Amino acid sequence: MSDSPNPWVAEHIRRFEETGGVPRPGIRDLLLTTRGRKSGLHRRTALAYVRDGEGDGGGAGAGDGAAYVLTASNAGADRHPAWYLNLEADPAVTLQVGTETFPAAARRASAAEAQRLWPAVVAAMPSYAAYRAATDREIPLVLVTRTG
């Protein structure tokens, strides 16, 4: 397994592990492991997430709370993050939420799902609105569901 080469993300992963999965109080974080589309190596990154339809009184949409929603913002860069490209090539991923690790499957949210989920994503991480404004690229939302 190889952690992100980005120093900020590597530090985030270290804090995640040291704190039992709560590196940033008030923000939900998880660790996502994908298979590198070129190398075949397992790659791990730390990401903020929301749950589809959880805790919003239904306002975020019709989700049942089963999917973890990830935002492929890449801090507003004009290219998708490597983890997103990896899961496009192989949607079988591993998630660590808190101290629990489990297999999961990832897929890009449909346009309707993304429109419904975007407000909840921005409410959880207001910086995503600035990232969206900084790029002409459509920032994908990814739905990840447990498979095991």
Task: Indicate whether 20 pLDDT > 90.
Answer: no
Q: Is the pLDDT of residue 8 over 60?
A: yes
Mean pLDDT within 18-47: 92
Residue 78: the pLDDT is: 87
Residue range 21-45: average pLDDT? 92
Confidence of residue 65 (pLDDT cuts 50, 70, 90): low
pLDDT at 33: 97
Over residues 71-87, mean pLDDT: 92
- Please give the average per-residue pLDDT across 58-83, as a whole number: 78
Q: What is the pLDDT of residue 56?
A: 45
3-class DSSP string for the chain: CEECCCHHHHHHHHHHHHCCCCCCCCCCEEEEEEECCCCCCEEEEEEECEECCCCCCCCCCCCCCCCEEEECCHHHCCCCCHHHHHHHHCCEEEEEECCEEEEEEEEECCHHHHHHHHHHHHHHCCHHHHHHHHCCCCCCEEEEEECC
Digit-coded pLDDT (tens) for 34-64:
999 999 999 999 999 999 966 543 434 445 5
| CATH 2.30.110.10, applies to 2-146 | yes
Q: What is the pLDDT of residues 129-148, one digit of tens each?
A: 999 999 999 999 999 999 97
Question: How high is the pLDDT of residue 64?
Answer: 55
Q: Give pLDDT, residue 9.
A: 86
At residue 46, the pLDDT reads 94
Residue 31 confidence (pLDDT): 96
Q: What are the sequence ranges of the domains in the chain?
A: 2-146
